[in-house]
Structure 1
């Protein structure tokens, strides 16, 4: 992209306020945290329900960004940059993308549907890439923001586009249609996703079909409802398992071993192809791809040769523990310029080490000459402060001189041969490669070897849940997020990095060592220690943590150390006991507290807080209000007597939802971040964060009268197929969950836990489940949920989450 601001202004109906309207723009950004923002970036300050990017403009100007699309010019930024003032910045981004799309006239494939969009897009890219220079949506960029960002990556060398559109409510598709403007439409499977946004299936289909109003052709599985909404401009190109009237009639899909042979009839002739999948969704997605190849008039032999090479699509960026204290970001299945930019931003949001290494294969389908491409890659690497580059491939090797501290290898085998000489340790490593380079072999070399039980943490879900609770807050209410107890079992440092990326105001930990670990991991956010022991005060001061002070004895002990170190205005947090009767100053000690603090310059009361005992139980609403009233009175007395204006906070997760009028200056978000609510209605809006999964180690069939496990607590009454799974009470699974009480999920079916749970294993009944050794077993996640397990065990979700042993490997990923 290279456009002058003066040409953009009329397209988004902007008022220009600045000094230079002839400056060229080569990058569009909406993320103030990206290190890729520069002097030729046009930054769109988007405004959401819980975030306003205008507040970051001053910082961006200081970092060299000079061009902004805004609804208003922030105070203090006047005359310091170029501003394009519009009514709505999101609409401006969409209008600009629609204008930019109109500058190009090659075929565009547009996809929508409930399921399969991203997989079909990635498979089409693979199938068509030998013949086209393709631009496609990176990852699953299919939203109101993702679609324009995808389209704005088009350049002059592309000759085919593949973009997906996702919607969750009515009126959204009309915004995306002019941005994608597909010439070829594909409607994938219509399922139940986002049903809550529509009054009926018909309404959902009608809304999705808007995308194809001006398309030349629409490819879809023949369906009477879809037939009724198809545009008169579009030619229907249909397929079916049932209707011989469809253009392509699939009369057989025979599953054998790990593949499926599809037989179909097209234009009176019969054809056959094989795909390396067995599941229904993959078969339907493959047929959608087949339809495109037929429309493009590919020969049957070419179709067969390419489709038998289809592969599972990995849509997630994963963070894994590596050897020698390394962190691994696994993006080993794609290599294109747009997804590299996304992966580098993700690297920065998850980086825990000073050293950052990029292992990068040749990049394909950039639409740029190799010289221009690797110059741009070099600029990205410099802006993201990558310490070391390892290039793998013939092409990137020839441009080694464009990178500093770079070593290259002609292929993956050469890299593996030199692996021991590369000395990987204490660094974050982004592994980014095209499938043909088999970078999964590199991941296997670098990944820390642990047993096959993992707790997968969905970082998108954490972001979603954070934003859900932020949407309940008043504009000026700050937010502290609790990352104590190893991030409620999810991994403290990784979660803290994400929260810092989201610019939360405070982090909360229980003990000093948790905070020290975060500080040593590179966290810069202020961290409050809720339960500091007197013996930890020196370490708290050394690591710039902020202690909660809950007693006169503790206060005097801290003041003594602070005075010895000649501190001034060191931040502390005063805890009041308003009825929890756990920790805190009570009414009868407030005067002594005031007397001790009055005139003291060593410390600064950063906040005053209390904790509610019944915020989650509305039967005790009167008691909760009495706590809030007492907090108001005691905190006001402190503020008046000490003449201070600290942050005040009393609400936890349940309090945020149940007592919105008592937000004060800050709230403390805990278990809600991790996708757990005690309110059934609220739970519907939260996303599952952690999925604990293992694998089937062994399967056997026992006869009637035989037993399973210690104590013979399960006796088979009939032949029973038993699967053993390598996870037990040493991993945090309660023994009370055994003996028929609990279950795991295998192949989307419940497998009841039989007999006693062992230290390292449990056994389940898989009679009637089509499974094999090595198949995944979900211990908790969507089903069973931690709420369900807690209810059955008569405990709380906190205990389930925090019990998971640290020997269980955490894998962090972003969709």
Structure 2
């Protein structure tokens, strides 16, 4: 891409105010944190319900970005860059993508549906790439923002596009159709996902069909409801299991070795095809892929040879603990230029170490000649400050000299053979490879070995929840996020890295060792220690942590050490007790506090805080107001008499929502970040962050009269199928959750817990569930939720989350 700012003005119908109208742009960005932003980036300052990118323009200019699409120019940025002023920056991004799409005239496949879009897209890329130079949506980039970013990645060497479009309500698909402009349409399965955005199923179908209003052909499972909305310009190309008048009639038969044989009739000829799946969804997705190959005119022998090699698609990028104190970014199922850019951004957002390594296979379907491609990849590596590149593949080996500190291997087997000669320790490692290179073997080598119970942490959900609460704040109100108790059980350092990436103002921990661990992990954000012991003050000073001071005894102890170390203006946080009666200076000690601090230059009052006891309980609304009023009075007194202007903060998560008038200078976000709210309506707005998963270790059938577990607390009244799950109270599962009170989810069905929860195992009733050993088990997540478990156990979600043992591996993913 090379488009001048002058041309962009006309494309966007924008007003230009700037310093150089002759500048050209070659990349588009919406992420202010990306290290790939440069002087030739056109940055769209998107504004959403939870965030406004205009706040980051000043920092972007300081980092060299010169071109912006904005709705207004921030005061401090005037006369410092090129600005294209528009009414709506998201609409402008979509207009830009629509214009850019119009420059290309090769076939474009557009996919939509409730389920299967990404899988069909990835399979079609695999099936068609031997014959086409394919550009496709990276990951699941199918939204109002993701689609334009996907389309803008097209270049002159591509000759086939595959883009997915996802909508959650009305009046969205028409915008995406103008950007994708598909010539070939595929409607995948229509299910219940995102039903809440539509009045009924018919409206949902009608809205999704708008993607195909100008397509030459539509591939779909024959359905009269769908056919009502097929445009007169569009040729239907249908398949069916039931209706023999479909263009392709399919009969499926499950065979041995987890395979399905498809018998299909097309143009009065009969064929058969084996695929390596038996589940309903995968078979449907395979049929959609088959239909494309038939439409493109492939021979049945080619169809068979390619489709028998279809594979499960990994839908997400995972962050895992590795050997020798390494962190692994596992993106081992695809290798293309666009997804490499995304993966490098994730590596930076999750990087814990000074050293960064990328293990990279040959890159396919970039659309660029190899010389140009690997020059671009090398520039990405430089921009992202990668210390070492390990290349695997014939082609990347030829371009080894493009990279600094690069070693290469011709095959994955060569790498594995030399693994013991390579040093991997105290570094972040991005593993990025095309499926044919089988980089999952490399992940297995580098991954820390733990048992099969894992707590999966959705980093996208954390980002969403953070922005949800930030959207409730008044301008210039700061935000402290609590990462104490190992990030409420979710993992402290990884979440702290993400929060630092999102530029929160402060982190809060309970004890000094938690803060020291974060600092040793590379966190540079200021960290407040809420419950510092006097014996930890020296370590707090050494690691540049900031202590909460809540008593005269503690203040005198800290001042003594501060004086011995000749400190000047070391930040401390003064806590006042306004009614919680846990920690803090009471009103009758505030005068002595002021007298002690007056004229003392060894410390600086960085903030004054208090803690609300009943911010989540409407019954105690008046008490909460009295706390706020007392805090205002005491903190104002301290400020005035010391002549200082510290940050003031009293609100916790529920306080942010229930007492917006008391935001003062900062708020403290805690469990809300992790997707838990005391308010039912607010809970619906938050995304689930943690999913505790395990597997079925063993299944047995016991007769009536037999018992299960210690103490024979479950006695079978009838023949019962029992599954054993390798998780117990040593992992944090309360024993009170057993004996039929609790359940786990298997195949989206509830399996009641039988008898007592053991130290390392629990047993469940799966009599009514079709399942097998090795199947996934959800301990908590979407069902049961942490809040539901807490309610049944007469406790609070905090206790459930923080009880999960650190022997349970945390897996972070996007």
Partner Cα separation in structure 2 for residue 598 and residue 383 of structure 1: 49
1:51 aligns with 2:51: yes
Task: Give the 3-state SS of the residue equivalent to 2:228 in structure 1.
Answer: helix
Deviation at 1:253, TM superposition (A): 4.4
Partner Cα separation in structure 2 for residue 410 and residue 518 of structure 1: 39
Partner Cα separation in structure 1 for residue 606 and residue 195 of structure 2: 46
1:8-157 equivalence runs, <5 A:
8-157=8-157
Partner Cα separation in structure 2 for residue 104 and residue 67 of structure 1: 25
Deviation at 1:255, TM superposition (A): 5.6
For 2:310, the equivalent position in structure 1 comes to 310
For 1:670, the equivalent position in structure 2 comes to 670
Partner Cα separation in structure 2 for residue 174 and residue 771 of structure 1: 42
For 2:233, the equivalent position in structure 1 comes to 233
1:796 aligns with 2:781: no
For 1:731, the equivalent position in structure 2 comes to 731
For 1:588, the equivalent position in structure 2 comes to 588
Structure 2 regions of 5+ residues with no counterpart?
none
For 2:281, the equivalent position in structure 1 comes to 281
For 2:543, the equivalent position in structure 1 comes to 543
For 1:344, the equivalent position in structure 2 comes to 344
Task: Give the 3-state SS of the residue equivalent to 2:76 in structure 1.
Answer: coil
The count of corresponding residues between Structure 1 and Structure 2 is 814
Deviation at 1:263, TM superposition (A): 2.2
Partner Cα separation in structure 2 for residue 564 and residue 171 of structure 1: 67
- TM-score normalized with structure 1 length: 0.98
For 2:617, the equivalent position in structure 1 comes to 617
For 2:452, the equivalent position in structure 1 comes to 452
Task: Give the 3-state SS of the residue equivalent to 1:21 in structure 2.
Answer: coil
For 1:406, the equivalent position in structure 2 comes to 406
1:494-643 equivalence runs, <5 A:
494-643=494-643
1:2 aligns with 2:6: no
Deviation at 1:214, TM superposition (A): 1.1
Partner Cα separation in structure 2 for residue 284 and residue 619 of structure 1: 53
Partner Cα separation in structure 2 for residue 73 and residue 682 of structure 1: 33
The superposition leaves residues 96-123 of structure 1 with CA deviations (integer Å, 9 ceiling, x where unpaired) of 1111000000011111122111111111
Task: Give the 3-state SS of the residue equivalent to 1:622 in structure 2.
Answer: helix
For 2:653, the equivalent position in structure 1 comes to 653
Deviation at 1:318, TM superposition (A): 0.6
The superposition leaves residues 519-564 of structure 1 with CA deviations (integer Å, 9 ceiling, x where unpaired) of 1111111111111111111111111111111111111211222222
The superposition leaves residues 149-170 of structure 1 with CA deviations (integer Å, 9 ceiling, x where unpaired) of 1111000000000111112222
Deviation at 1:319, TM superposition (A): 0.8
Task: Give the 3-state SS of the residue equivalent to 1:496 in structure 2.
Answer: helix
Root-mean-square deviation over aligned CA pairs? 1.5
Task: Give the 3-state SS of the residue equivalent to 2:756 in structure 1.
Answer: coil
For 1:681, the equivalent position in structure 2 comes to 681
Partner Cα separation in structure 1 for residue 330 and residue 703 of structure 2: 44
Greater than 6 Å deviation, 4+ residue runs:
none
Partner Cα separation in structure 2 for residue 661 and residue 108 of structure 1: 52
The superposition leaves residues 352-411 of structure 1 with CA deviations (integer Å, 9 ceiling, x where unpaired) of 011100000000000000000000000000110111100000000011111111100000
For 2:176, the equivalent position in structure 1 comes to 176
1:424-443 equivalence runs, <5 A:
424-443=424-443
Deviation at 1:182, TM superposition (A): 0.7
For 2:293, the equivalent position in structure 1 comes to 293
Task: Give the 3-state SS of the residue equivalent to 2:68 in structure 1.
Answer: strand
The superposition leaves residues 28-84 of structure 1 with CA deviations (integer Å, 9 ceiling, x where unpaired) of 111111111112111112222232222222222222222222223323333332222
Partner Cα separation in structure 2 for residue 479 and residue 217 of structure 1: 51
Partner Cα separation in structure 2 for residue 62 and residue 472 of structure 1: 28
The superposition leaves residues 237-281 of structure 1 with CA deviations (integer Å, 9 ceiling, x where unpaired) of 222223223222223343644122222222223322222222221
Partner Cα separation in structure 1 for residue 684 and residue 265 of structure 2: 44
Partner Cα separation in structure 1 for residue 766 and residue 48 of structure 2: 47
Deviation at 1:127, TM superposition (A): 1.0
For 1:385, the equivalent position in structure 2 comes to 385
Q: Please, which moves more after superposition, 43-52 or 553-562?
A: 43-52
Partner Cα separation in structure 1 for residue 687 and residue 447 of structure 2: 28
Partner Cα separation in structure 2 for residue 664 and residue 280 of structure 1: 55
Q: Please, which moves more after superposition, 408-417 or 77-86?
A: 77-86
Partner Cα separation in structure 2 for residue 420 and residue 790 of structure 1: 47
Deviation at 1:639, TM superposition (A): 2.0
Task: Give the 3-state SS of the residue equivalent to 2:651 in structure 1.
Answer: coil
Contact 2:46–2:90 (Cα < 8 Å) also in 1: yes
Deviation at 1:222, TM superposition (A): 2.1
Deviation at 1:598, TM superposition (A): 2.1
Partner Cα separation in structure 1 for residue 660 and residue 423 of structure 2: 53
For 2:214, the equivalent position in structure 1 comes to 214
Contact 2:252–2:260 (Cα < 8 Å) also in 1: no
Partner Cα separation in structure 2 for residue 68 and residue 394 of structure 1: 40
Partner Cα separation in structure 2 for residue 564 and residue 10 of structure 1: 66
Partner Cα separation in structure 2 for residue 463 and residue 769 of structure 1: 35
Partner Cα separation in structure 2 for residue 633 and residue 694 of structure 1: 52
Partner Cα separation in structure 1 for residue 76 and residue 661 of structure 2: 32
Partner Cα separation in structure 2 for residue 18 and residue 244 of structure 1: 64
Task: Give the 3-state SS of the residue equivalent to 2:139 in structure 1.
Answer: coil
- TM-score normalized with structure 2 length: 0.98
Q: Please, which moves more after superposition, 12-21 or 439-448?
A: 12-21
Partner Cα separation in structure 1 for residue 584 and residue 287 of structure 2: 65
Partner Cα separation in structure 2 for residue 465 and residue 133 of structure 1: 39
Contact 2:261–2:275 (Cα < 8 Å) also in 1: yes
Contact 2:730–2:760 (Cα < 8 Å) also in 1: yes
Deviation at 1:347, TM superposition (A): 0.1
Partner Cα separation in structure 2 for residue 600 and residue 52 of structure 1: 40
For 1:263, the equivalent position in structure 2 comes to 263
Contact 2:461–2:689 (Cα < 8 Å) also in 1: yes
Partner Cα separation in structure 1 for residue 42 and residue 443 of structure 2: 36
For 1:811, the equivalent position in structure 2 comes to 811
For 1:362, the equivalent position in structure 2 comes to 362
For 1:246, the equivalent position in structure 2 comes to 246
For 1:741, the equivalent position in structure 2 comes to 741
Deviation at 1:14, TM superposition (A): 2.0
Partner Cα separation in structure 1 for residue 673 and residue 442 of structure 2: 33
For 1:784, the equivalent position in structure 2 comes to 784
Q: Please, which moves more after superposition, 154-163 or 680-689?
A: 680-689
Structure 1 regions of 5+ residues with no counterpart?
none
Contact 1:50–1:475 (Cα < 8 Å) also in 2: no
Partner Cα separation in structure 2 for residue 260 and residue 462 of structure 1: 39
Contact 1:113–1:187 (Cα < 8 Å) also in 2: yes
